[in-house]
Amino acid sequence: MSKVAIHNLGKYFGAPSTNAVPALQGVNLTVDEGEFVTLVGASGCGKSTLLRILAGLETHTSGSVECNGLPIEGPGADRAMVFQHYSLYPWLTVMQNIKFSRRLKVKRENLTSSDVEAASGRADALLDLIGLSKVADAYPNQLSGGMQQRVAIARALMGKPAMLLMDEPFGALDAQTREVMHDLILHIHRIEKTTIVFVTHDVDEAIYLGQRVVLMQPRPGRIHSIYPVHLPKARDQEMKHSSEFRVLKAEILARIRESSGMATDQELLDKLCRTEAIG
Ligand SMILES: Nc1ncnc2c1ncn2[C@@H]1O[C@H](COP(=O)(O)OP(=O)(O)OP(=O)(O)O)[C@@H](O)[C@H]1O
Ligand SMILES: [Mg+2]
């Protein structure tokens, strides 16, 4: 059974009026259990809106969206979200940040000692997984951006969500740190077997991480195409130089350029020359 089933999904912000353009229209997508799907597309094509609907943080206007065969009607412990900006609590240590979601879920007085032990064991294992055991007692402002985002991922994984929803989680990181994070998230995906839906602006990132790349288009926000990525499952940075990778990247970039409404350099040059001639 698919993990997520989206049928004919539509979303208007505010009251639908005759000339309002829907943020999403006629979106159909299924995501399999354990799959890693990436979403790309021009700015404003509805990537974040779709992700927020999956997280239950936003309602939809038409169609249906289900997780495990049940309609998504709000946030749930089975789905965790990671945002672009590190949303750590500055007054809590790394370890306390990772355990924080558990604190919200279960009132402290209701915890049995075995609950506390299991939570501590999982937090320790997650710290190991993200390679930050040595800084368990550090505060977020003592960490680099990449380290903070690793903590945010560990915190999202703490409640063992079946699905991880990531909205440009590495968008604020430098290129080298991003590459490290790519291999880390693939490692986490292998170990935790979490279903991941990952939004990005970066086509390299979308192809390197995704088993399928979903390309969206704006005005109205909709799915243009879905590209299966035929690269070996165990990725390695060298694959970015393969012809499969380069051909797919060129194809997706061309489609994004078409839909972003940006003219080519030659078109702009011709237009400028014509203006000059008239002046
Ligand atoms: N809260 C809101 N109220 C009104 N309109 C909104 C709201 N959130 C998003 N929109 C509109 O919905 C459309 C899709 O926005 P969304 O943020 O989902 O796009 P996106 O693909 O994530 O863009 P970006 O790549 O720039 O992050 C846009 O036209 C945007 O202006
Ligand atoms: Mg967005």
pLDDT tens across 33-72, in order?
A: 999 999 999 999 999 999 999 999 999 999 999 999 999 9
Which two structure tokens, joined as six digits, stand for 78?
């089975």
Are both 49 and 173 inside the same structural domain?
A: yes
Alpha carbons 266 and 272: distance in angstroms, whole number: 10
Last-in-domain residue among 125, 160, 195: 160
| Ligand 1 atom 6, closest CA | 13
Counting ligands in written order, which one lies closest to the CA of residue 20?
1
User: Which ligand 1 atom sits nearest the alpha carbon of residue 11?
Assistant: 12
Are both 61 and 187 inside the same structural domain?
A: yes
| Ligand 1 atom 16, closest CA | 46
Does 86 or 63 have the greater pLDDT score?
63
Are both 169 and 53 inside the same structural domain?
A: yes
Are both 63 and 185 inside the same structural domain?
A: yes
Are both 151 and 204 inside the same structural domain?
A: no
Are both 186 and 153 inside the same structural domain?
A: no
- How crowded is residue 20: how many other Cβ atoms within 10 Å of its Cβ? 12
pLDDT in tens, 229-273: 999 989 999 999 999 999 999 999 999 888 776 656 666 677 777
Q: To test the ligand 1 pocket, which listed residue (9, 27, 40, 47) has its Cβ within 8 A of the most ligand atoms?
A: 47
Q: Please give the distance, rounded to the nearest whole angstrom, from the Cα atom of residue 227 to the centre of ligand 1.
A: 23
Q: Which residues contact 261 (CB under 8 A, 6 or more apart)?
A: 42
Q: Please give the distance, rounded to the nearest whole angstrom, from the Cα atom of residue 46 to the centre of ligand 2.
A: 7
Are both 175 and 47 inside the same structural domain?
A: yes
Kind plus residue range of the DSSP H or E element containing 157: helix 145-157
Q: Is the peptide bond before 90 cis (omega within 30 degrees of 0)?
A: no
Q: Ligand 1: residues whose CB is within 6 Å?
A: 13, 23, 41, 43-49, 201, 221
Structurally, how many domains does the chain consist of? 2
221 lies in which domain range?
2-78+162-278
| Ligand 1 atom 22, closest CA | 48
| Ligand 1 atom 8, closest CA | 49
Instruction: Read off the CATH number of the domain in which 179 is found.
Output: 3.40.50.300
Alpha carbons 279 and 212: distance in angstroms, whole number: 50
Q: Please give the distance, rounded to the nearest whole angstrom, from the Cα atom of residue 147 to the centre of ligand 2.
A: 22
By three-state DSSP, how is residue 82 classified? strand
Are both 176 and 242 inside the same structural domain?
A: yes
Are both 28 and 42 inside the same structural domain?
A: yes
User: How much is the pLDDT for 265?
Assistant: 66
Q: Please give the distance, rounded to the nearest whole angstrom, from the Cα atom of residue 268 to the centre of ligand 2.
A: 28
What's the whole-model pTM score? 0.88
User: Which ligand 1 atom sits nearest the alpha carbon of residue 58?
Assistant: 1
